Structure 1
Amino acid sequence: MVGKRSGKALRDEGLERTDNNMELSNWPQIPAINQKNYYTDYLKRDDQYLAFRLQNEEARTKMTKTAKDRDRALAMAKPEAEAEAEADGDANMEDAEETPAEAAGSKVIVIHIGSQNLRIGLASDALPKTVPMVIARKAATSECEDHEEPNPKRFKRDDGESLEPEKIFGSEWSSQYNRMSADLKVHMRQNKRRMLPNSKEMVMNYNRRTVPETISEHNDPMRIEWTELSSPPPEYIVGQPALRVPDSSNPRYKLYWPFQNGWCNEKDYSSKRMLFLDISLILEDAIKTQLGLTSKKEWAQYSCVFVIPDLYEKSYVTQALEMLMREFAFARVCFIQESLAATFGAGFTSACVVDIGAQKTSICCVEEGMCVENSRVNLKFGGRDVTETFIKMMLHGHFPYADVNLWRRYDFLLAEELKKNVCTMNEASVSPQVFDFHLRVSGQDTRKYTFKAYDEVHLAPMGFFEPTIFDNSEKLQGRRGLIEPSVDIYDGQSNDPVSAAQSEILTALAPTLPANDKADDESQPGTSGVQATPSRPQQPNALGRVQELEATPRSSVAGSPAPEVAGTPQAGGVGTPAVATSASQAPRPPAVEHRDDILPIYALDNAILTSIAHAARSDEKKMRDFIGGIMVVGGGSLTNGFHLFLEERLQTLRPGFAKEIMIGAPPRDLDPQVVVWKGASIFGKLSGTNDSWIGQLEYDRLGHRLMAYKCMWAW
């Protein structure tokens, strides 16, 4: 064993340690944290968030100002001042009458954007201004000249000749239409409705023989004032004047709709910048013309409430926030979801809101002022699809105006007017009836047409419950062509909001993925974990769970088989009877959350029950509350008899809840089209309790990250 060497020996060998007491580095040495016992309060207190600090500072400033004003008033309250006040009392009263107090909400602009209409107004207004969400831009051709095929699409023979009206839409569509017509006859016989024999043939023979009547312009009391182009012609025209620009104008103008089916219109635009530029131009024109705020300098004094969908896209919301804060320079901005705004407008605390718009239908259960996240459903059809289907059915029955083309502006407006005046869901009104309309074209005499209609007036809005009758072929065109989905910066997965009810519907509709494409789809953002599912639409499991709730008490541990319900339509309106099974009897398919190749087209009654099932979560009391508090809003619900028909459909699907099911309309005779805007205006006036305002200073420092702190829901 070698002993310890002496210091002299080490020095002789050059191994002695020398130390000048200098550190190895001048960087501060941080001791290691004791992993067993350490604590930090970083981001654990409200005063560490800028949003909360600014809010508290504003409250303190307001409190200080109020106290100073009160002290100043007390200090100036002297006897002589009181005497003078009595002497000048009348003058003060006159001054008070001349300068009234500012109305609540008079400095708040409420904006609700839809696919077809924009509703805008001040929060102090009783009703909003409605402006078509369209812009006409100079172009080489108009939209009807861009599309060779008319709308609705017609098939032709191989030699180019036109087919008979019964064949112009294809055998598949005609067979479905004839089946729906036969089912309606059976249902009317069961309800003891009187029907004339050969009604269909009578209508077709009448329409074949009728010829239009020409009316000169000076004899037409309802003639249309077409938009006259100034000199030089403007680069763009916005709103209702854009729809009244003649198709054959010189120069030509082309219509652009920035929103289609509740999504940003990526099909008709070539760049994201032009898309949002058109949105800002439409909003700017509406604020100037409809609200009278012609100077942009005034806008900095106003706040803005912006309505967004329940199932929104984060990229759209953040872009809208930037536009409102930067381009419009509003003082404050806040967001509210459509269904929550609808309950505000109707004065309900809890409801299942069914919002049927022009091109999308959204369903969401609201409970105690909050949207139930897993109940949100967004379907891509609406009143515009009913208009197109009604025209197809009329053309199938030898409509006298066979040249109708919805790409033409006057034909589109005519079709919308016919749908509003003729369509009904009341079976008592289904009979051969005579209607008329006036066709007004710029530069031509008015033509008056007379036609007969039979069951088309009922079967067209029936498409809400059998949506495969709609033309859904082009609704996914251009999807994700301009706007990428919002993704998480850590794992690259899509972080747009998802809903269990929507995922279940998409799973039922999901086509089978090819084996060689699975790996590619799993590697793409937002498609992780998507597996192949049967191509045939299946009944969603949520509906099975509702029937299981009917059949088995909650206290039972072992569930019993659900009763068979004959005639329950499957997803997408398939008329084959289906037997709903409980969740324990059938394996649950994997949920499809993010698949941009799946179009959510689903029967409305089944979608409502799916939403309610996910909101109730097997709680029978909640189920009965939601199913007895269904509120239908939106312009698509204005069809006569729609509420009663929807009640009957839901009672047929769920006989165990037949007594509780009730479809309600907005109270106080409020127009269903403006309920959402009305609720947003009420929300904008809640200045004392609304903590979701985003100010300019906050946005300058934190940007759209503020949404995580300011939203009333999980951003």
Structure 2
Amino acid sequence: MTSPSKDPKSDDVPMGGVDEEELDQEGDFSTADPTPLSMTPAPSAGNSTAPSSASKVKKPEHHPQGKQQMTKVPMHLLEKRRLGRLKAAEQYAQKMKTVGIERRDNSIIHQNGLFRALSLINQKNYSSDYLKRDDQIFAMRERKSLRNATSSQNNPDIAAEDDDQDSADEESETNTIVIHPGSRSLKIGFATDVLPQSIPSCVAIPRTKSKQASNGSSKIPNDFVADHESYAETKEYIQHDFKERMRYYKRKIMPNSHEAVVNFNSRVQPEKIPEHNDLHRVDWIQEPAKTFYGEEATHCLPSQFTVRYPFWKGRFNVESPDYRSIEELLSDVSELLKFALLHPKLSIKTAQIPNYKVVVVVPDLYDKAYVESFIRLLLVDLKFQAVALIQESLASCYGAGIGDSTCVVDIGATTTKVACVDEGLVVDNSVISLDYGGDDVTRLFAKFLLESKFPYDGLDLESPHDFLLIENLKQKYATFQDADVTIQLYNFIKRIPGKPGAEKFEFKVFDEVMTAPMGLFFPQIFPELKAFKTNNNEYVSNQLPRSKDLFTQKENNIKSISQLSCQKETTYCDLAKDLDVLQKLLNLPSEIEEYTAANVANSDSNFTALDKAIIESITNACATLDNSFSKATNFYSNILVVGGSSKFPSLDFILTDRINIWRPRLLSVTTLPTFFDKVTKQVKEFEQVNKLGDIKDQEELTTQKKKLAKTVKMELQTYWEDVDALGGNESVFPINVLPAPREMDPALLTWKGGSVFARLKLIEELYVTSGDWDVLGSRILQYKCIFDY
């Protein structure tokens, strides 16, 4: 059977049907009636089968002989279906209008003129400012540009494929460098590396002839002590504490042990070692031909070179007298970083630096002038692609894999830092920076050895070979394991640069191996060991002034109430009475407000004992977080000790004992959170009832405060009576000192945390590019830091 065809010249419509043009104007909405329109043709004599249905309405066609071959559809049925489609279209349009989605013009159609027609406003976002301000979308814009730039530089095919995000992420990780600058070593490496490269952060500059001649005339002996009486008193205090500890743990001390050590060391004769038998001989650099960096700089003699350390105590070493300008200091930093990037395991040339991003680990108590100068150097001078920041304590938690509330203790070469980390943020008022570290322990160890007739005449810690010798002896033999403290026989090799051969000496030690590192808990002895106090380089310091607010001209560096308490020696451990401790806790919020509003810089030195600093940090962290001590158990149970100078054996045991000794009783009992909440509520009720804030008469105000103090005292007495009723069975906060993870050097743990941070998805929103820095400067850090900058 031949399919019916339409006659193009025929415009007739059968009677009782509907025009196709009318259907086209009404639209085709299939939702009104799912039954398709069909017309069944009459069966023909030559074919027993016929089509059963059609997908749409067809116009009835005329047979060439003029006979109609198709059955008509009734008019009322077509009208019913048409009305149903119109009703469904109205319901759908009403529903879209209710939701807020309206019909919009097609923007693909070519527009006449130079400007395209503006699209209609989307009603659902009309009353919101979401993604309408540039500070809300520039992070996403920079994130996309960084991803495309990284992909195109490494693999052009990846840049063209937006769906291959995993490959782009892997490329981004391999193009990210993590830098952790320290006073003695610079840790640097790729984010994908297991361990970084530790490069000594020092630069050796050749001396001029005039400086070489005058160098040896003004030498001051290293064992110079400013105040002999104060030094002797502190040393006696340390030895008394050592003997009390040995007696408590029932360790026997042989009588006259110190005299036996002195007698042996005074009679030691050296053993000559030929140069060809000295396996660990050091080739010292004496020819001032060029500038040396890193490991080579440590082998340069001070008589021929000026050895400079650009990093010092968590900032640039602007106090060093070896620098004549801030440009010279920044030049050393830049050249040292270029030297580190050329390490065989990194192998990054200067021309390749713009292909890499960098993550910088900054101190918790950072100086904004140092941070901003460092970022400017990385982005503008070295032309890195982008820079991101992370604080040291948070990076240490990342590296150790700790997600709970943690107290981080970082014992470095020149500083010791304590800070509490909670929910991924460093608690500002818990940060403490102490002005002593492993180098001070090394000097104290050398001083104690010299007092025991150490067989090395002319020991000078200002020379690199002598300092390296004492540093190695400290790392090998210094310990907190009291069971190992007895008369021990050791040996060392004396190597003098410029002289052939070496000399092997035997020597004995007794308590020096433990009393020297105990200086961490008696740091008042460290200032007495300074050979001479060098004046600060004010000329260079003034070229890098402390950061100030643009509008108020007040210093806007991060402030910590714990740091202030340590500097003023008003810590909780320094208070004799529990009532004073409780009163300080109650007054802490007002003290923080006053200290934050005051325009005072933390420039005083801080030589607080390590155990006292930990107690101060944890207590203030608990008091400022939620005005409660519910997290004290977590902080005391997660004391993480990191840093290159924290490798003393059994440091965790003595630290636990010292915290238990010095922690006030009020801060030790586990019922403190309940009691403190109760007292806090009573104080607030008293202030509200008596309206202390509205009293202007000083005498009346003093009377009301005395009543409040009396109420607090009565509550404290009642609390202690309830505790004493337990008969000494009250529970205290447990102390647990966590060492570094297994097979992980504690000196590299912070860098490892920075590498973990560099591989998170979040970091793409925290990168600061050179474009961001050019437009907004340091203000960009308010948006691009994971911490409150």
C-alpha contact (below 8 Å) 2:555/2:599 kept by paired residues: no
Residue 355 of structure 1 aligns to a residue whose secondary structure is strand
2:328 to 245, 249, 274: 274
Q: Does 1:662 align with 2:668?
A: no
2:777 match: 703
Q: CA–CA distance in 2 between the matches of 1:70 and 1:110?
A: 27
* Alpha-carbon offset, residue 130 of structure 1: 0.4
1:504 match: 565
Q: Does 1:174 align with 2:232?
A: yes
2:177 to 105, 109, 114: 109
1:623 match: 632
Residue 630 of structure 2 aligns to a residue whose secondary structure is helix
Residue 383 of structure 2 aligns to a residue whose secondary structure is coil
C-alpha contact (below 8 Å) 2:414/2:440 kept by paired residues: yes
C-alpha contact (below 8 Å) 1:261/1:475 kept by paired residues: no
Q: Does 1:408 align with 2:463?
A: yes
2:506 to 450, 464, 471: 450
1:163 match: none
C-alpha contact (below 8 Å) 1:51/1:706 kept by paired residues: no
Report the AA paired with residue 382 of structure 2: F
Q: 1:610 to 1:593 in 2, by over 3 A?
A: farther
Greater shift, 612-621 or 407-416, is seen at 612-621
1:283 match: 337
Q: 1:226 to 1:623 in 2, by over 3 A?
A: same
Q: CA–CA distance in 2 between the matches of 1:705 and 1:172?
A: 48
Report the AA paired with residue 174 of structure 1: A
Larger Rg: 2
Gaps of 5+ in 1: 1-40, 73-98, 156-168, 509-536, 548-560, 564-578
C-alpha contact (below 8 Å) 2:225/2:231 kept by paired residues: no
C-alpha contact (below 8 Å) 2:555/2:601 kept by paired residues: no
Report the AA paired with residue 267 of structure 1: S
Q: 1:597 to 1:351 in 2, by over 3 A?
A: closer
1:470 to 526, 539, 542: 526
Q: CA–CA distance in 2 between the matches of 1:42 and 1:138?
A: 68
Q: 1:486 to 1:627 in 2, by over 3 A?
A: same
Residue 283 of structure 1 aligns to a residue whose secondary structure is helix
Q: 1:351 to 1:686 in 2, by over 3 A?
A: same
1:52 to 137, 140, 143: 137
C-alpha contact (below 8 Å) 2:139/2:765 kept by paired residues: no
C-alpha contact (below 8 Å) 1:542/1:613 kept by paired residues: no
Report the AA paired with residue 668 of structure 1: R
2:578 to 544, 562, 566: 562
* Alpha-carbon offset, residue 690 of structure 1: 4.1
Q: CA–CA distance in 2 between the matches of 1:61 and 1:271?
A: 35
Alignment of 1:529-548 (within 5 A): 537-538=569-570, 540-541=571-572
Report the AA paired with residue 712 of structure 1: I
Gaps of 5+ in 2: 1-125, 149-156, 670-731
* Alpha-carbon offset, residue 104 of structure 1: 6.0
* Alpha-carbon offset, residue 696 of structure 1: 2.4
* Alpha-carbon offset, residue 449 of structure 1: 1.5
C-alpha contact (below 8 Å) 1:261/1:381 kept by paired residues: no
Q: 1:366 to 1:584 in 2, by over 3 A?
A: closer
Q: CA–CA distance in 2 between the matches of 1:662 and 1:428?
A: 21
Q: CA–CA distance in 2 between the matches of 1:71 and 1:139?
A: 58
Q: Deviations over 1:534-558 (max 9, x none)?
A: xxx44x24886xx9xxxxxxxxxxx
Q: 1:104 to 1:194 in 2, by over 3 A?
A: farther
Q: CA–CA distance in 2 between the matches of 1:585 and 1:624?
A: 20
2:752 match: 678
1:150 to 213, 218, 221: 221
Q: Deviations over 1:312-352 (max 9, x none)?
A: 01111110011000111111110111001111111111311
Q: Does 1:611 align with 2:642?
A: no
Q: CA–CA distance in 2 between the matches of 1:634 and 1:147?
A: 35
Q: 1:323 to 1:149 in 2, by over 3 A?
A: same
Q: CA–CA distance in 1 between the matches of 2:786 and 2:277?
A: 57
* Alpha-carbon offset, residue 398 of structure 1: 1.6
Alignment of 1:344-359 (within 5 A): 344-349=398-403, 350-359=405-414
Q: Deviations over 1:416-448 (max 9, x none)?
A: 101101111111111111111111122222111
1:633 match: 642
Q: Does 1:237 align with 2:288?
A: no
Question: Counting helix residues as a fraction of each chain, which structure ranks higher?
Answer: 2
Q: 1:454 to 1:698 in 2, by over 3 A?
A: same
C-alpha contact (below 8 Å) 2:385/2:770 kept by paired residues: yes
C-alpha contact (below 8 Å) 1:633/1:675 kept by paired residues: yes
Alignment of 1:260-409 (within 5 A): 260-265=312-317, 266-268=319-321, 269-349=323-403, 350-409=405-464
Q: 1:287 to 1:600 in 2, by over 3 A?
A: same
2:655 match: 646
C-alpha contact (below 8 Å) 1:353/1:363 kept by paired residues: yes
Report the AA paired with residue 279 of structure 2: P
Report the AA paired with residue 745 of structure 2: D
* Alpha-carbon offset, residue 117 of structure 1: 0.7
Q: Does 1:137 align with 2:222?
A: no
Q: CA–CA distance in 2 between the matches of 1:66 and 1:260?
A: 43
Q: CA–CA distance in 2 between the matches of 1:136 and 1:372?
A: 39
Residue 254 of structure 1 aligns to a residue whose secondary structure is strand
1:218 match: 276
Q: 1:60 to 1:333 in 2, by over 3 A?
A: closer
Q: CA–CA distance in 1 between the matches of 2:600 and 2:659?
A: 29
Per the normalisation by structure 1, the TM-score is 0.74
C-alpha contact (below 8 Å) 2:189/2:346 kept by paired residues: no
1:125 match: 193
Q: Deviations over 1:393-433 (max 9, x none)?
A: 11122211131101111011111101101111111111111
* Alpha-carbon offset, residue 582 of structure 1: 4.0
Q: Deviations over 1:370-411 (max 9, x none)?
A: 111111111111100000111011112221113110111101
C-alpha contact (below 8 Å) 1:43/1:49 kept by paired residues: no
Residue 620 of structure 1 aligns to a residue whose secondary structure is coil
Q: CA–CA distance in 2 between the matches of 1:453 and 1:383?
A: 20
Report the AA paired with residue 270 of structure 1: R
C-alpha contact (below 8 Å) 2:388/2:763 kept by paired residues: no
* Alpha-carbon offset, residue 225 of structure 1: 2.9
Q: Does 1:257 align with 2:321?
A: no
Q: CA–CA distance in 1 between the matches of 2:408 and 2:343?
A: 32
Report the AA paired with residue 223 of structure 1: R
Residue 342 of structure 2 aligns to a residue whose secondary structure is helix
Report the AA paired with residue 496 of structure 1: N
Q: 1:315 to 1:43 in 2, by over 3 A?
A: farther
C-alpha contact (below 8 Å) 2:757/2:763 kept by paired residues: no
1:205 to 247, 256, 263: 263
* Alpha-carbon offset, residue 713 of structure 1: 1.5
Report the AA paired with residue 260 of structure 1: W
Q: 1:153 to 1:144 in 2, by over 3 A?
A: farther
Residue 173 of structure 2 aligns to a residue whose secondary structure is coil
Q: 1:298 to 1:476 in 2, by over 3 A?
A: same
Q: Deviations over 1:571-594 (max 9, x none)?
A: xxxxxxxx9664289999875884
Q: Does 1:435 align with 2:490?
A: yes
Per the normalisation by structure 2, the TM-score is 0.67
Q: Percent identity?
A: 32
